[in-house]
């Protein structure tokens, strides 16, 4: 078991998948000799050659459209989108084509395309370089949407995404790229599509994904010092969502707070709140509370700390939930 930053864990996961299957290839902007903006693909072209690690033009729609054609010919392409805010030119290919093609072929043709997207804030970047577009994809039938919170999960979840015959949106919390954690390449642990109980507790359930899981851990530590036991759940998968794990936790704690970096309006957090209200209305002792970014475009870097949820906003929601 090695200690790796998340970026390196993803790199090793990509490498392992490419060794196992020569139909796996990566394509994206500046991913070959440069190794990508965040160096996630560093060293892969040197090992596997320019036909399997391909620098593309600055054309996200073309990247995804080409990947669809490659998938139809038996390849397992992985598209790297340089930043979250650059994904929008590819939405037509993803939503109008990729997400629908398996159904259009009545299941006779699979489209094993993985689209890697660095997303989220906390890096002080400029416009179009810090966004959380996960709701667009989670709303779209035909796509699987996942996001790791730890290097270990990042390694195994990218490998599972590549092995999956369905299109997968693989969201990488860019603010966690440089944080190290243990990676056991011999033991995958739980299934990607099952949520992970990251911290056990008895008074309130805190649910989040990606970089927000670390923030929930910090909030739980502070709450513990104030006599409140918080259970932290890492969603892992945003589509499908593992509601059973959340429901089991809420049956114990009776209180639920959902936190995310994305704006709250019509979001993954909104869907969890609505579904858990349906499933656990008679169990909970308080309404589901949501903590999110504000419903505005991502602000300039100096204001991101005011825009993104922090420990204080999460703890405020915990206090309000327990006060009911």
CATH code of 257's domain: 3.40.50.920
Q: Do 145 and 21 belong to one domain?
A: yes
Active-site residue, 122 included: no
High-pLDDT (> 70) share of the chain, %: 100
Q: What's the domain range around 23?
A: 2-183
Q: Do 35 and 168 belong to one domain?
A: yes
Q: Predicted confidence band at 196 (pLDDT cuts at 50, 70, 90)?
A: very high
> Active site residue: 129, 209, 217, 255, which one?
129
- Is residue 188 assigned to a domain? no
Q: Predicted confidence band at 62 (pLDDT cuts at 50, 70, 90)?
A: very high
Q: Which helix (H) or strand (E) holds 19?
A: helix 6-20
- Is residue 144 assigned to a domain? yes
Residue 146 in tokens: 């996942």
Q: Do 177 and 208 belong to one domain?
A: no
**CA atoms of 179 and 176, how far apart (whole Å):** 5
Indicate which CATH number applies to the domain containing 125.
3.40.50.970
Q: Report in angstroms the alpha-carbon separations of 319 from 132, 227, 231, 257.
A: 27, 12, 15, 10
Question: Among 183, 210, 228, which residue terminates a domain?
Answer: 183
- pTM for the model: 0.96
Q: Do 204 and 225 belong to one domain?
A: yes
**CA atoms of 317 and 256, how far apart (whole Å):** 9
Q: Do 173 and 209 belong to one domain?
A: no
- How large is the average pLDDT for residues 297-304? 92
pLDDT at 188: 80
Q: Do 201 and 166 belong to one domain?
A: no
Q: Give residue-wise pLDDT tens across range 174-188.
A: 999 999 999 998 888
Do strands 144-146 and 237-239 pair parallel, antiparallel, or not at all (unpaired)? antiparallel
Q: Report in angstroms the alpha-carbon separations of 167 from 57, 75, 142, 157, 180.
A: 22, 13, 7, 14, 28
Is the pLDDT score of 211 beyond 90?
Answer: yes
The three-state secondary structure class of 154 is: helix
Tally of domains within the chain: 2
Q: Do 179 and 125 belong to one domain?
A: yes
- Is residue 222 assigned to a domain? yes
**CA atoms of 202 and 281, how far apart (whole Å):** 18
Q: Do 164 and 313 belong to one domain?
A: no
Q: Give residue-wise pLDDT tens across range 12-56.
A: 999 999 999 999 999 999 999 999 999 999 999 999 999 999 999
**CA atoms of 268 and 264, how far apart (whole Å):** 8
| DSSP letters spanning 277-297 | HHHHTTT-SS--EEEEE-SS-
Q: Do 162 and 236 belong to one domain?
A: no
Is the pLDDT score of 190 beyond 80?
Answer: no
């Amino acid at each position: 078991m090695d200690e790796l930053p998340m970026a390196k864990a993803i790199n090793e996961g990509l490498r392992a998948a490419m060794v196992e299957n020569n139909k796996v290839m990566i394509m994206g902007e500046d991913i070959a000799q440069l190794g990508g903006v965040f160096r996630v693909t560093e060293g892969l072209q040197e090992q596997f050659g320019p036909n399997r690690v391909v620098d593309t033009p600055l054309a996200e729609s073309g990247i995804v459209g080409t990947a669809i054609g490659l998938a139809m010919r038996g390849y397992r392409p992985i598209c790297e989108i340089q930043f979250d805010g650059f994904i929008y030119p590819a939405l037509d290919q993803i939503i109008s084509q990729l997400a629908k093609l398996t159904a259009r072929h009545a299941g006779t043709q699979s489209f094993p395309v993985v689209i890697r997207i660095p997303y989220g804030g906390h890096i002080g970047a400029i416009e179009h370089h810090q966004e959380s577009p996960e709701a667009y994809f989670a709303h779209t039938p035909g796509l699987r949407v996942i996001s790791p919170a730890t290097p270990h999960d990042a390694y195994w979840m990218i490998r599972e995404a590549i092995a999956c015959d369905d299109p997968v949106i693989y969201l990488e919390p860019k603010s966690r790229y440089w944080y190290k954690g243990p990676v056991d390449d011999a033991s995958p642990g739980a299934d990607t599509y099952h949520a992970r109980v990251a911290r056990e507790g008895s008074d309130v359930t805190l649910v989040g994904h990606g970089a927000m899981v670390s923030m929930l851990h910090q909030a739980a530590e502070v709450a513990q010092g104030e006599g409140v036991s918080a259970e932290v759940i890492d969603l892992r998968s945003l589509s499908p969502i593992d509601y059973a794990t959340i429901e089991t936790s809420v049956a114990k704690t009776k209180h639920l707070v959902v936190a995310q970096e994305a704006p709250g309006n019509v979001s993954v957090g909104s869907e969890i709140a609505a579904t858990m209200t349906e499933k656990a209305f008679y169990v909970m002792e308080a309404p589901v509370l949501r903590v999110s970014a504000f419903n505005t475009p991502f602000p300039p870097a100096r204001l991101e700390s005011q825009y993104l949820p922090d420990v204080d906003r999460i703890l405020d929601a915990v206090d309000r939930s327990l006060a009911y």
